[in-house]
Amino acid sequence: MLFRRSPPVRIRLYTSRHCASCTLAREILRKVKEDLRNRVVIEEIDVDSERDVAERENIFAVPTVDIEGVRLVGLDQIRQGKITRIVYNLMRGGDGGG
């Protein structure tokens, strides 16, 4: 597979301590990381303790996954296959195109 950009692709997971769906989102991203290994870097941001970051990034709901500007909001959007497709599309030089 020919890539136009070098990995890793940065994935940010915005969560909250009081969010049950965030636990499931973490598990989905764990599987993504397991599958894609060094192609992704996953960063988790707790919106309760880092309100300034959440505000600056316009995070209004959790869980939210941001894959270099491609946003998936809510557990119904956060799917392993969808995230993997977005990562590969970004690596090929596309816009992510969820």
Residue-wise pLDDT for 3-62, tens only, equals: 566 679 999 999 999 999 999 999 999 999 999 988 999 999 999 999 999 999 999 999
CA–CA distance from 58 to each of 36, 71, 83, 87 (Å)?
27, 11, 20, 22
Strand duo 9-15 + 40-46: pairing: parallel
Number of folded domains that form the chain = 1
In a domain, 4, yes or no: no
In a domain, 73, yes or no: yes
Q: How confident is the model at residue 98 (pLDDT cuts 50, 70, 90)?
A: low
In a domain, 68, yes or no: yes
In a domain, 98, yes or no: no
Residue 13 near residue 23, CB atoms below 8 Å: no
In a domain, 21, yes or no: yes
37: CATH: 3.40.30.10
In a domain, 1, yes or no: no
Please give the Cα distance from 53 to 45 (Å, whole number): 8
Show the domain range for 76: 9-91
Structure tokens, 77 = 């959007």
β-strand partners of 42: 11
